[in-house]
Structure 1
Amino acid sequence: MTALLAGTGLTYRRSGETFLIVKKEDDAPQSASANEGAEPSLVDELIVTAQKKEESIQDVPIAVSAFSAQALDERKIEGGPELLRAIPNVSFSKANFSMYNFSIRGIGTKAISASSDPAVAVSFNNTPLIRNRLFEQEFLDVERVEVLRGPQGTLYGRNATAGVVNMIPRLPGPNLEAMMKAELGNYSTGRLSGMFNMPLGDTLAIRVAGALTQRDGFDYNTFTKKNVNNRDLWSTRLSAKWDPVDWFSANVIWEHFEEDDQRSRTGKQLCTRDDGPAKVGGVNTSALTRARLSQGCLPGTLFNDTAYGVPNGLSFPQFLVADGITFGYPTPGPRNQNTLVRAFKNRLTDPYLGLVQSRDLREIATSYDPIFRSKNDVVQLNLSFDLSDNLQLISQTAYTEDRYYSSQDYNRFVSNPIFSDTGQPMVNASNLPYGYSATIRPPTPGGVYTDPQLGASDRMLAVDLSQSQNRQWSQEVRLQSAFEGPLNFSLGANYLKFKSQDDYYVFNNTFTYLAEYLYNSGAPPKTPVICEPTTPKECVYVDPNPLSSINGEGHNYFRSKNVVQIESWAIFGEAYWEVTPDVKITAGLRYTDDSKVSTPYPSQLLLGADRGTSGPSTGGKYSRGYPALPDIKQGWNEFTGRFVVDWKPDLSFSDDTLVYASYARGYKGGGSNPPRVDIDPNVVQYQPLAETFRPEYLNAFEIGTKNTFMNGALRLNATAFYYDYKDYQVSQIVDRISLNENFDAKNMGAELEVIWHPTPELRLDANIGYLHTELGKGAQSIDVMNRTQGNPDWTLVRPWVQVPSNCVAPTRHVATILGRGLDDTLAAQALTALCSGSARIGSFDPALPSLFRFWQMFGFTYNPLKDAPNGGRGFYANLEGNELPNAPNWTFNLGAQYTFNINDWRLTVRGDYYRQSESYARVYNTQYDRLEAWDNTNLSATLENPNSNMVVQVYVKNVFDDAPITDFFTNSDDTGLTANVFTLDPRIIGVSIMGRF
């Protein structure tokens, strides 16, 4: 350490929870630890490893915020999502599926793909983890948490375009010590944590730490009458450190995290209901055709009462199909005369008709309570060799496994009862519509349908399941110098291999219903339907297993399967040249070789194999399973790095000042978009989408200053930056997949961090961030919430059930179909054909001839792939100049704490106030996308007796019980474009007692 701090005029001491830097003059320390009482107004300064070597945070020419365990506890920052409250220009929110978005200076992880990398590198003890539990896991026995802002293109490399979050655990020490902490709070909160450190002789020490949290649910499900979104999680860490000789040190760390509870992966679903147009081109619409022209939900603001509606369920594609299903049963009269009984209770069945939602974001109504399970293991081996007094060789080896399982109600609404009570014996019906003949089984006795995965219900049930299994192995070797002269260096190489399988399922009992009783109407009369080689006609395989043990081969549910392998290696180096005692130059360069292999498995919802028989064609190629397409192989070779000049002038008005200017180059690899529906192009051709997305690149310019004033009582750090971003990755759900698009952008802003001790007892701190972002020239994208972009010559149309996305069609053609006076069902089915680009338009629909062409009936010709904008997908929205998502213009935090000395006790009272200005959830910056400004207040009181090592704390988090919408994502077209919103945890009140031994 002494060598690393040579020439800085600083030495270091360890005191309690923090490392302190002590200014020296003439080799006499000005002050000691604040905890020891000498010079108590000194602002504590952490030793950090932001440059992968130990330095004072005030000497690092990087915008970095660092927090000791004590500092985290003072602010009641218990996990990664709460770090935003203490760092300027940082935002955090959960994202869809198993993802989250930690955003720094407007740059986060808005790309959703199994092959995408996080823009903020999350590291455990300097090892980057592609998959991690930063969102779920609470901090455990940490030494400190460092957050580096800006691209770290040399030392952290490939996936650190926005910055780095580095969690440094406590390692075993030479002293026997232990800690126990117990906590109780509202929502029946119970939390235990502890640590035990034991030396084993002079060279070996072990440390064990663990934590357990249990808490009742934050949300109330009015349908199941249960509290959900609870917490039941635990972590443990075992570490050992061995120092057999002066020149060698080794430590090994194993950390395990596990959660098994009813945490909600997403929040409430909001919707401004879209009833559809009453007229099109002057022609009136019926209830059914109007629904075919509804997108389910409108792009209205989420902050009006109208947003607490429900989607137009009649617009769901499966209900158009089901509207035509009838079943034959014998009735008195002539032989073979049958009565046609409709499958649903009403001919026009909106499952959500008449329903409304509570305005309380913590109150939901769903038929299925969530299930949440995750496990994460990290094993790390660190070796350090002192090759000489000035050269150190460091090796870091790490292996991680991450497993994740989350299931919850997909639609987030409880539907009305929808099934008819057929209740008749099985018969052979010979007069089904359009000449079909089939063996019919009574599907809904008593008005109840039994789905093999979701069970029996009289309502529409929809459940999703997100699960993943990931493994990562990494190795890094670094050679670092600490010469007395002006030149030092850090050289290294690393290798990373990552394997992942992500599965996302959506189960819906109406999907299974259609598979069993429409597309499989000629299958053998047994339940469930099993597609056999001898099946006489096309067959859609129905998985007969319950949700807990599905075989993953069913076509009665949606499955997105993504298998990815990432292999990356890099060599890097930084040189540090002290040009003069006050001026230093840092120059770094990194070469990265990235390789990604994605194995696409297209989705197969309601698709079956065409056996060359008569009857409706689903457009599928397989009856069962999810065959893989050829691998998508991608690779990039990139140079990144940074160049920094820093100056430490001797100023009369400051104790210590650092001024720096830097340029950094960042890079993050591209990837492949998830595979789409595997529809036979000979049956239906539909809108093309990009198979892959490009890497991100960033040129970042920054100037900053770090200052200590008033004999250490005041610290003031300021930074200004300008980013030129190329191909920023942003995702939206299109065709039931997360489609990732690339946009150029420019970001600029400033940050201010202040800590001030006006008196030894009073501490004030603040951080303020200003951010301005704008998308680059020519930026454009199709907004799924507004495909026509207000053009009256085009009308949105819903597709047939196997086609995932809405389309746009000429208003005149829609009006022509509506004006022919067809039966409602036939007119609605004809409208759906406008979304297909094949000569066999309508072949999905058993009501229409397989070679049906529009012009034969309506007198016009139309092919959306040729005649409609962007193949029928819609018009581009102009995004140039729009703000990036999750990039508020202002963030700031104000904190104050005062310590009362009462005999042998110290009582510290602290309050923190955080505010984030309004921002946008999507790149389109419409009223629908706007997120209102929100704030958060936290209070704590800590009573400590240094002599007895006892600490009692009372705290209140989210004092005013606010529930702001912090972010949201939009669901797919065929589920109504509902908005899944995220919010904060409610008010949490707790009391804890901690003892050290």
Structure 2
Amino acid sequence: MSARNFRSRLTSSVAVPAIAFAGLTATPLMAQGINPDEIIVTARRTEERLQDVPISITVFSGDQIQKRNIAVASDLAVFTPSLSVNTRYGPEKSTFSIRGFNQDASTAPTVGVYFADVVGVRAQGGTAGGNTVGAGAFTDLQNVQVLKGPQGTLQGRNTTGGAVLLVPAKPTDLLEASIEGTYGNYDQKRVQAMFNAPLADTFKVRVAIDRNERDGYMKNHSGVGPKDFNDVNYFYGRLSVVADLTPNLENYTIFHYSRSDTNGYASHYEFCDSNPGDPRQINPATISPINPNGSKYSISRYYTSLAACDQIARQTARGDGPLDVDVSDPDPRMFLRTWQAINTTTWQASDTITIKNIVSYGEYREQSQFQLYSDNFTVPDTAITRYYAARRGPQIGQPFDYIQLGTQPGHDAAAESTTTEELQIQGRSADGKFNFVVGGYLEFSRPLGYNQQRTGIYGNCVDPGVLNCSGGLPLSDSAPIPGTIISESRTQLAFDNHGVFAQGTYRFTDQLALTLGGRWTFDKIAGYSESNRRVFASVPSVGYVLSNWVCNDNLNHATVNLIANGGDLTACGTRITVKSNKPTWLIDLDFKPTPDTLIYAKYARGYRQGTVNFTNPGLETALPEKVDAYEVGAKLTFRGALPGYLNVAGFWNDFSNQQVFGALIPKPESGLVGGSAIINAGKSVIRGVEVDAGVTPFQGLRLSAGYAYLDTKLKDLITPTLSADSPFLQIIPRGRIGGPLTYSPKHKLTLSGDYSVPLGDNVGELNFGAVFTYTAKQFVDGNLQIPGYSLLNLNAGITDVGGSGFDVVVFAQNVTNKHYRTTSGGGYDSSGIGDFMYGPPRMYGVRLKYAFGR
């Protein structure tokens, strides 16, 4: 086999044919009028026709991704039924949910995100981050495949929800280049460029870059810090090299880098606890079977609840809308850097055996400083606050922060490296009836120093990272003097995820096939923590002084005094190791009564590893969870006068030992401000239907629809019993028995269409596109529900204007300027704050692209 033929075999089979205006709608590829026979996916680690794969998949072309301005992972969820996203800490740090399987806090992903067959670089800092691709990674892609349901048999990590596969455009034999510029409202400026060159018959390179800036749409009215939040500011670059070492041996190397530096997110306040009760008395709201005698709400919750009410009153007096915020952080920043090198060697050992080795190394680093609850608080004026003020407590109107995260000089909030090695043997029998994939997988994630961040709590901090704070709230009922807690998160986490796998398909006839797959995964998390906290107090006649310095883990290190031992943090040292190993499997039966009809039924076992989180003494670990997934589906292709397709899948999942988020209410004397434990408290049933359909009524018009119905129900919710010496008073798990899971809208719909009109030779082609999406109401914090919303996106353009090589497109997203909530801060139980994050308002602009050599 010649090198050129080998390259053609590897690349042309996955190429999507270029058509006019492809990608101006973010619908499945077939809706663009593309022949379904030519849509190739790699969902089962080999190249197959989309319509032959017994998996519910949504596929997007690279043009579709580009023209929909999808730049970070969260953007993808807008257009994909069954895919939801949690943007609690901003879009760059979002986590995916498919079919109701959510990732909370520091847990492992339920949805794996893969770039060039390699999982995203792992990270586990104080807030969600890592485990995905960096901003801009969606530029110059061949396609994106969203796989629904457990994919743990063949994918690198075990996941319960599914996988998102990003397939980058591969270097080709063509000398080509393009440059594209976008200008839009909110002063958006984006430049993308691509250059591809065959430097020799056996050596090709491809370079892609993406630079994107946009002002934030959440406007800050505090007069302190930046004027806006939820801005965009990233650079992304990629270098790809293909070298044909021999006619049957190909080496493919990718290096990509992402750098995002923004003001971060901000939330809008919408309700508060206006009657938090006297912190000196028992509050009836705290009486429960776990706590039958009730308790006092902490004095800090009293202050934060009423300060939140004051902030809402200021918003109302100004006439603020949902996109107006009031944040007093003087210098917020979300600075994320990700890079990854991937090398894939493919050896065509024979006509029936292919050996592939994939090795990668990547790093994720994060420096972040922001207010967790977007506050601008001052001490409220009530009889109780005046009582404390008269006893040298904080004075009425004095500013204070609730929880302000700061970057400690010389350290990262999260810093982790990930190395992966995967060996695959792909083969088929001589008669073509049996094909298989077997292999092994190694993944090592190691800390790059400590995940270290200082958080100012209840104080008035310029920068808690350098301990620059003053003032604060009463430290306790008995000590009403103002004080600030500086909590220092100082952890290291190492992850090992290894596995061996095999999957094969045997075709009894041309119509009937059976697929069996299995994987045994071995997981380990080894964590070490030296987390601690300082308490600064405004002591009369002395000033603002360090009054206490202890370990955060006051359950296991209650007697440690770090002031007395000179700040020796090893005295707070805690090591925790969690191991698990589990099998997962797949049984699938396919029936093809005609070449254009696939009917399948399958059963799969999915599993997600446990977790370690040092911030919750006594509740640091959670065990793995598992799911038994059942699915039946049909894929139909129509030809002739009305070509199109219809794909339908119905699924039922039994979900057990579920990892559930639980809000922690601390004891008033603990010195803690709360927490977010992961507990194995749940058992759920998840069922639903997914439909993808497309049709080309006549030349130039393409219509498609995608719909997902999702019915989730939490069957059991068993809260762990707290020990008598626990620093926490109560666990409030997210959710309620009989209620739905979070980020699980019952209905999600996408309708799209585009129309192309040739304008004549050397004139160009006129194109129109529209996408309508609807997302039903959903719970985002167990007890908080956000309303449903619909979005309309429009675009129009001319390709190859006058034969010049220029394309021009005008676009508008969220045309009707809907103000829609996306998630909640989730702090009502511990702080009395009800705040929400909002999606982007109307965004519009113009895009100009020039393709060299067209």
TM over 0.5: yes
Asked whether the 8 Å contact 1:670–1:694 carries over to 2, the reply is yes
Q: Which of 459, 464, 468 is equivalent to 2:405?
A: 464
Report 1:398-437 matches (<5 A). Answer: 398-416=360-378
- 1:195 Cα deviation after fit: 0.5
- 1:600 Cα deviation after fit: 3.1
Q: Which of 35, 48, 55 is equivalent to 1:55?
A: 48
CA separation of 1:294 and 1:275: change in aligned 2, threshold 3 A: farther
Asked whether the 8 Å contact 1:603–1:675 carries over to 2, the reply is no
Match of 1:749, SS state, is strand
Asked whether the 8 Å contact 2:580–2:609 carries over to 1, the reply is yes
Letter in 2 for 1:357: Q
Quote the residue 1:739 is aligned against.
677
Distance between the aligned counterparts of 1:503 and 1:935, measured in 2?
Answer: 40
Asked whether the 8 Å contact 2:272–2:308 carries over to 1, the reply is no
Asked whether the 8 Å contact 1:970–1:977 carries over to 2, the reply is no
Quote the residue 2:654 is aligned against.
724
- 1:780 Cα deviation after fit: 3.6
Q: Which of 645, 666, 675 is equivalent to 2:606?
A: 666
Report 1:546-695 matches (<5 A). Answer: 556-606=485-535, 608=548, 621-623=561-563, 624=567, 626-627=569-570, 628-650=572-594, 656-676=596-616, 689-695=618-624
Q: Does 1:16 align with 2:29?
A: no
Q: Which of 89, 98, 105 is equivalent to 2:99?
A: 105
Asked whether the 8 Å contact 2:518–2:584 carries over to 1, the reply is yes
Q: Does 1:715 align with 2:645?
A: yes
Quote the residue 1:209 is aligned against.
208
User: Which protein is bigger by CA-based radius of gyration?
Assistant: 1
Distance between the aligned counterparts of 1:663 and 1:71, measured in 2?
Answer: 32
Q: Which of 481, 485, 489 is equivalent to 2:427?
A: 481
Letter in 1 for 2:329: Y
CA separation of 1:662 and 1:900: change in aligned 2, threshold 3 A: same
Asked whether the 8 Å contact 2:769–2:794 carries over to 1, the reply is yes
Asked whether the 8 Å contact 1:766–1:894 carries over to 2, the reply is yes
Asked whether the 8 Å contact 2:269–2:308 carries over to 1, the reply is no
Report 1:530-549 matches (<5 A). Answer: none
Letter in 2 for 1:253: I
Letter in 2 for 1:935: S
Letter in 2 for 1:142: L
Asked whether the 8 Å contact 2:115–2:133 carries over to 1, the reply is no
Quote the residue 2:290 is aligned against.
none
CA separation of 1:697 and 1:417: change in aligned 2, threshold 3 A: closer
Report 1:51-200 matches (<5 A). Answer: 51-96=44-89, 99-110=93-104, 112-113=105-106, 116-129=107-120, 130=122, 131-134=130-133, 136-137=135-136, 139-156=138-155, 158-200=157-199
Quote the residue 1:958 is aligned against.
814
Instruction: Please identify, of 938-947 and 267-276, the stretch whose mean Cα deviation from structure 2 is larger.
Output: 267-276
Match of 2:74, SS state, is helix
Distance between the aligned counterparts of 2:638 and 2:445, measured in 1?
Answer: 47
Letter in 1 for 2:770: G
Distance between the aligned counterparts of 2:609 and 2:241, measured in 1?
Answer: 36
- 1:458 Cα deviation after fit: 5.5
Quote the residue 1:989 is aligned against.
844
CA separation of 1:351 and 1:945: change in aligned 2, threshold 3 A: closer
Asked whether the 8 Å contact 1:43–1:756 carries over to 2, the reply is no
Instruction: Please identify, of 630-639 and 248-257, the stretch whose mean Cα deviation from structure 2 is larger.
Output: 630-639
Letter in 2 for 1:249: E
Distance between the aligned counterparts of 1:512 and 1:71, measured in 2?
Answer: 45
Quote the residue 1:384 is aligned against.
346
Quote the residue 1:917 is aligned against.
776
Match of 2:533, SS state, is coil
Partner deviation per Cα, 1:940-966 (whole Å, 9 max, x = no partner): 112112854321110001112222112
Asked whether the 8 Å contact 1:894–1:914 carries over to 2, the reply is yes
Asked whether the 8 Å contact 2:249–2:346 carries over to 1, the reply is yes
| Consecutive unaligned residues in structure 2, runs of 5 or more | 7-11, 23-28, 123-129, 287-295, 382-389, 408-412, 472-481, 536-546, 551-557, 667-673
- 1:262 Cα deviation after fit: 1.4
TM-score w.r.t. length of structure 1: 0.69
Letter in 1 for 2:612: S
Letter in 2 for 1:667: Y
- 1:979 Cα deviation after fit: 3.6
Distance between the aligned counterparts of 1:936 and 1:41, measured in 2?
Answer: 26
- RMSD of equivalent CA atoms: 4.0
Q: How many residues align?
A: 749
Quote the residue 1:933 is aligned against.
788
CA separation of 1:754 and 1:672: change in aligned 2, threshold 3 A: same
Match of 2:65, SS state, is helix
- 1:52 Cα deviation after fit: 0.8
Letter in 2 for 1:707: L
Match of 1:357, SS state, is helix
Percent identity reads 23
CA separation of 1:250 and 1:837: change in aligned 2, threshold 3 A: closer
Partner deviation per Cα, 1:767-798 (whole Å, 9 max, x = no partner): 0111111112x424499xxxxxxxxxxxxxxx
Report 1:741-756 matches (<5 A). Answer: 741-742=679-680, 743-756=682-695
Partner deviation per Cα, 1:411-466 (whole Å, 9 max, x = no partner): 423234799xxxxxxxxxxxxx99xxxxxxx999xx99xxxxxxxx9522452247
Letter in 1 for 2:748: T
Letter in 2 for 1:362: L
CA separation of 1:44 and 1:969: change in aligned 2, threshold 3 A: farther
Match of 2:548, SS state, is coil
- 1:362 Cα deviation after fit: 1.4
Distance between the aligned counterparts of 1:879 and 1:255, measured in 2?
Answer: 43
- 1:355 Cα deviation after fit: 4.2
Partner deviation per Cα, 1:263-295 (whole Å, 9 max, x = no partner): 32x423443233235xxxxxxxxx6747x8499
Partner deviation per Cα, 1:32-91 (whole Å, 9 max, x = no partner): x999xxx96856852111111111111111111111112324544443212223322221
- 1:674 Cα deviation after fit: 2.5
Match of 2:459, SS state, is helix
Which has a greater percent of strand? 2
Q: Which of 696, 699, 706 is equivalent to 2:625?
A: 696
Report 1:782-821 matches (<5 A). Answer: none
Asked whether the 8 Å contact 1:646–1:659 carries over to 2, the reply is yes
Match of 1:631, SS state, is strand
Letter in 2 for 1:242: A
Distance between the aligned counterparts of 2:50 and 2:30, measured in 1?
Answer: 17
Match of 1:118, SS state, is coil
Partner deviation per Cα, 1:71-122 (whole Å, 9 max, x = no partner): 3245444432122233222211213488523111111212x12xx3101011
Asked whether the 8 Å contact 1:351–1:415 carries over to 2, the reply is no
Partner deviation per Cα, 1:822-874 (whole Å, 9 max, x = no partner): xxxxxxxxxxxxxx978xxxxxxxxxxxxxxxxxxxxxxxxxx8xxxx98527
Letter in 2 for 1:949: G
CA separation of 1:605 and 1:137: change in aligned 2, threshold 3 A: farther
Distance between the aligned counterparts of 1:758 and 1:17, measured in 2?
Answer: 17
Distance between the aligned counterparts of 2:308 and 2:174, measured in 1?
Answer: 69
Asked whether the 8 Å contact 1:512–1:556 carries over to 2, the reply is no
Q: Does 1:779 align with 2:717?
A: yes
Letter in 1 for 2:205: I
- 1:388 Cα deviation after fit: 0.8
Asked whether the 8 Å contact 2:74–2:94 carries over to 1, the reply is no
Asked whether the 8 Å contact 1:693–1:741 carries over to 2, the reply is yes
Asked whether the 8 Å contact 2:399–2:460 carries over to 1, the reply is no
Letter in 2 for 1:920: F
CA separation of 1:236 and 1:17: change in aligned 2, threshold 3 A: farther
Quote the residue 2:276 is aligned against.
276
Distance between the aligned counterparts of 1:34 and 1:901, measured in 2?
Answer: 21
Q: Which of 289, 294, 300 is equivalent to 1:316?
A: 300
Letter in 2 for 1:991: V
